Amino acid sequence: MTPPLRLRGFEDWRRQARRRLPRGLFEYIDRGVGREVSLRHQRDRLDAVKITPRMLGGDRPVTLGTSLFGQPCAAPLAVAPTAMAGLVAHDGEVAMARAATRLGLPVCLSTQSINSVQQIRDAVPEARLWFQLYAWEDRALTRELLGRVRASGAEVLVVTVDTPTGARKDWNIRNGFDMPFTWHFRALLDVALHAPWVMRVILPYLARGGFPALGNYRPDLRPTLVRAVPDKAVRLRMALSWSDIAEIRSEWAGTMLLKGICHPQDAIRAADSGMDGIVVSSHGARNFDPCPAAIDLLPPIAEAVRGRMTILADSGVQTGTDVLKYLHAGASGVLAGRLPLWGLAAKGEAGAETALAGLMQELEEALRMSGLRMTDLADGGC
């Protein structure tokens, strides 16, 4: 583990990331959607959850170790898939994978990542690698992508199902952040005011041969920081159906999850469809502003499918007590997205590792203070 850094806690990492990233990129990660009611509600509902501590349990040892999908994990945590982490830091997905691997945690790579799944595997052969899939319009190209993911040795396929259309993010329209980059005054000024970011992140890509690009796309179809998706064949297939899920299931023999399940009936159908697990999620409050908080969605879903599949959860995780609340509500594991990104932005690979290690330490402390142990928590079906 890296030596401790001075930054402590989510807000410290967030403030430092805000200083180091262009405003448009920071807000792309930080903000919600619409009036951001869901973003505020997500935090309020997590804060409202209370856990009554138990006393006089003696000196029972506290261990975070668990297993997810038959593989050991140092804690019930994984790094959530986040698009374009390679713009937060140069080769950011590789750095994130190294950080997570040193801590014994899985890392989930996004279809929309800058570093490809094979680059991650080559750079971090021992990584516990999961892959998040956005299906493309061209089904043959999607199958080809799944073949590359399979060849990389990825353990788990995570299919995102909660994005039936693009979410309108007015603040990104106003601040000019987009991919491809919008060449207007506000966006150019934002970049100019963050010259260290350009030198630290963008110039190394240019020195390697070009602008940052989405590495999981075929080279001739690859969107870049300055070029839109060049062919409708690799536009995202947004409005998925259960028949699409059945088709993907037929192409993927390994562990498969659906990410973004919010309703118990959808969870039951996922179990009936042969899914190994689900991620209960509000997409970090980034897609649908009226969506309830994931912490409220989780208990009825856990009740509906407990014992039939593994239940994970994400959205709004800032502290170890947030993780404990999700576990107590029925999840077997929790995905963290923004926190490790803020660590990556603030201090690179060491920052991502330290932010995640801090989350693990907070979870251990929360278990001690609550009197709970991992074996006491609700079993989401692991």
Q: Which residues are annotated as a binding site for FMN?
A: 81-83, 110, 160, 259, 281, 337-338
Active site residue 90: no
Which amino acids are annotated as binding site for glyoxylate, given as ranges? 28, 132, 134, 283, 286
Which amino acids are annotated as binding site, given as ranges? 28, 81-83, 110, 132, 134, 160, 259, 281, 283, 286, 337-338
Residue 49 CA: distances (Å) to CA of 45, 290, 314, 325, 364: 7, 20, 15, 7, 18
CB 235 within 8 A of CB 216: no
Which long-range contacts (C-beta less than 8 Å, at least 24 apart) are formed by 168-174?
168/33, 168/34, 169/28, 169/31, 169/33, 169/286, 170/34, 171/27, 171/31, 172/24, 172/27, 172/28, 172/31
Looking at residue 238, what DSSP letter applies?
Answer: -
Where is 359: in which H helix or E strand? helix 338-370
CA dihedral sign of residues 233, 235, 238, 244: positive
| Nearest by Cα to 135 from 121, 122, 149 | 149
Q: Which of 41, 90, 194, 283 is catalytic?
A: 283
Estimate to the nearest angstrom the gap between the alpha carbon of 203 and the chain centroid.
26
Residue 348 to residue 147: CA distance in whole angstroms: 31
Residue 58 to residue 88: CA distance in whole angstroms: 45
Three-state DSSP class for residue 305: helix
Residue 363 CA: distances (Å) to CA of 293, 317, 351, 380: 21, 12, 18, 18
Give 224's contacts (C-beta < 8 A, 6+ positions apart).
Answer: 180, 210, 211, 212, 213, 214
Catalytic residues: 283
